[in-house]
Amino acid sequence: MKNKLLRSLVIIILLAISSCSINNGKNDPLQVIDSEDCLAPCWRGIIPGVTTLDEAWVLVQQMMQERKPNEGVPTEIEKDTLDRYIIIYFEKIGLKFYVDSHGVIEEGEFSFHLLRRSEKPKLKDLLSVYGEPDSIEMCHDLMEMRRAIVYIYYPQMYFLFDQTLPIKGESFDVSVEENTRVDYINLLPQSYERPVYDFSFPWSGYGEMSITPTQRNSESICEKLFP
């Protein structure tokens, strides 16, 4: 009886180990964004504004075959028939590279929206990877609900998340905290010109920022982004 229980316990442990091995970080945002080859906005050899579509596609195909420690392994890759983008799937995490009219990678976008909230990357973990950003940009949106769309900006990258705000009121506090969950990370080319948003704050650490929708920047592009 004891031998049978011992064998069952060993099988359970092996299955658990196997499960962890098979997952291989596919749904771990920090392993997916990890790039030992270069620093952001470069990702695993793909540089927005520099790498061509053909060069990126070769690198992406190699990722399906080569496994590196601590790097998430793609589960599927897709190339648009009209050469407009490449998508790399990591189960519930996606990375889409957009291509410009010259056949060069224009921008990369990590999407975490299919993950449960508790699985999405925390802001403090991303800052431990990329360092401190330089500004916080915001759009105010009032459609079915009131919300702030928040951009945490670096020179060639930003994090994006939104925050629900009260329907009524003239001014609203938007929180940017260590445990804030991020929905998207965008990698940008050196030629990228940062647009004007409704509100802009220099990065001074975590905390709350007050916004008053009637005092939004008149040159903001937010109404075009969220009409």
Please indicate whether residue 73 or residue 32 has the higher confidence score (pLDDT).
Answer: 32
Q: Are 30 and 39 in contact (CB under 8 A)?
A: no
Confidence of residue 2 (pLDDT cuts 50, 70, 90): very low
Q: 15-31 b/e with 16+ CB inside 10 Å = b?
A: eeeeeeeeebbbbbbeb
CB 109 within 8 Å of CB 95: yes
Tell me 1's DSSP state.
-
Confidence of residue 17 (pLDDT cuts 50, 70, 90): very low
Q: What's the predicted TM-score (pTM) here?
A: 0.86
Query: What tens digit of pLDDT does each residue of 143-181 get?
Result: 889 999 999 999 999 999 999 999 999 999 999 999 999
